[in-house]
Amino acid sequence: MASEMMKSNVIKINDIRAFVKANVNLQINQKWAPRIYIQGAPGCGKSYILRDICIENGWALKTFFISNSALEMLTGLPCKVEHGQGAAWTKPEILDMSLEKLEYVPKNYEPGKTPTVLLLDDFHLCDRMMQKYCFQLFTEMGLNGYKLPEKTALVIAGNRAQDKAGAMPIPAPVCNRMMFVEVASEADDWIKNFAMKHDVRADIITFINNKGDVFLSQQPIESTAWASPRAWTYLSSQMDAYEEALGTLDIHNLMTMATGLVGAEYAKEFVAYRELFARWNFDELVKHSWENVKKEYHSACEKNPTAVYAITTAGVTWMVNMYKKNNFDHTCEAVTKAVKFMYETMAYLLVMKCKNINTRPLIASGVNFINLYQEAQTENKTRNVESLLGMLLKEMKQERNIDWYFYDLLNEIFKIGLDDNDVKEINKAKSAIDAGKIDI
């Protein structure tokens, strides 16, 4: 995936927003404009993000699955005519932009005045006959004497030739009327710009955050399940629906569900992680004595070092949800207590001696996740929301070795800036901790 993103003609899927906005505005204001064709792997989020773009910009949206449509939906049908008159045809279904045909309608929508996007989805499956009519549609913004309404723009989406999705060759004249933009989906981009905004489950988000290579199968697989952003989103929704209907989701049923959506290999990894993540009930854990909590952490991590990440991300999720639940009130006692408890938790895990594993990268990933999570949760810029990172920094009295050690970790991630005295204190703390003087 990284090498794919290095190609200059491939962009992150979230970056398509700017291209679509510019192209739709061009189509609406000028007759001679290319029709943007968003190409990418199956399930990478092309249709999802276009709906988001329409919502963000106040555009209406109609999605037309062109490959599944009868040819008559593009051509129209011959009508009965009066004696002596020429042949007549009905208006093609593809051009029907009436209100009931729209997938998304913004507030204050006015037909012919509100910009409207007609999405031709799965265009890669169009046969030659349909492509001939699309040539006319792309050129004239109409078919067989009928026109699309004013303020309508065409956006096309489809898979690439290498995606094993049955892509058909596109004639050169049709290609010449489109602007091809290839998109690729990356785990961090999906987490920040889709998953967190659309309530994808925290256990799925944190699993992918740590195991980015499970996010998208390198090659789509025919006749069986394989991992994609769409598949992980479906898994999240299916798990929620199962738990709502039946209360609990046991390992066997979760494995069946996950295997059927993301494939057996990734399902096995996710179920193992999810069992670690789900066992940490921080509402109860915070009531225990700190000494007993540390013993629970150490025992779990001795059995499976991955528990370090599971504890961190489960706790961070709990802390962020506590903040949200209390309307982002940083003075609320429950919020400050959660922040303090999570600081102590991450600090302890950072220096915990367990199977000689280096917990630092795992804690760093969890700490970085705080920032990602909060950005998605507090997008309303008019609200004065104090950063959870800032609240963590306030918890660091910088009186203990562990405080300075943790401060060094935060600087690695966020580049908060260190002066000479900070560096001196951090080096002293590292030496003390290496010598076994762990003051937590």
Nearest CA to 369 among 300, 427, 315, 332? 315
What are the DSSP calls for 281-321, one per residue? -HHHHTTS-HHHHHHHHHHHHHH-TTHHHHHHHHHHHHHHH
pLDDT of residue 193: 84
pLDDT of residue 379: 54
All structural domains of the chain with their residue ranges: 2-185, 189-434
- 62 beta partners: 118
pLDDT of residue 305: 86
pLDDT of residue 8: 59
Report how far residue 195's alpha carbon sits from residue 231's, in angstroms, rounded to the nearest whole number. 12
Contacts of 84 (CB under 8 A, 6+ apart): none
26 CB neighbour count, 10 Å cutoff = 15
pLDDT of residue 385: 57
pLDDT of residue 380: 46
pLDDT of residue 375: 65
Residue 240, CB-side half-sphere exposure with 13 Å CA sphere: 12
pLDDT of residue 435: 87
**Six-digit token string for 430:** 């590292």
Domain at 2-185, CATH homologous superfamily = P-loop containing nucleotide triphosphate hydrolases (3.40.50.300)
Q: Are 345 and 241 in contact (CB under 8 A)?
A: no
pLDDT in tens, the chain (440 residues): 444 444 558 999 999 999 999 999 999 998 789 999 999 988 889 999 999 999 999 999 999 998 788 888 888 887 777 666 666 788 899 999 999 999 999 999 999 899 999 999 999 988 888 888 899 999 999 998 899 999 999 999 998 877 766 778 888 989 999 999 999 888 888 888 888 888 899 999 989 988 877 777 766 667 789 899 999 999 999 999 999 999 889 999 999 999 999 999 899 999 999 999 999 999 999 999 999 999 999 999 998 888 999 999 999 999 988 988 898 888 899 999 999 999 999 999 998 876 677 888 888 887 877 877 766 655 544 445 567 778 888 877 778 899 999 999 888 888 888 899 999 999 999 999 888 888 88
Report how far residue 50's alpha carbon sits from residue 27's, in angstroms, rounded to the nearest whole number. 16
**What is the chain's Cα-based Rg?**
27
pLDDT of residue 86: 65
Report how far residue 423's alpha carbon sits from residue 84's, in angstroms, rounded to the nearest whole number. 94
**Six-digit token string for 403:** 């405080």
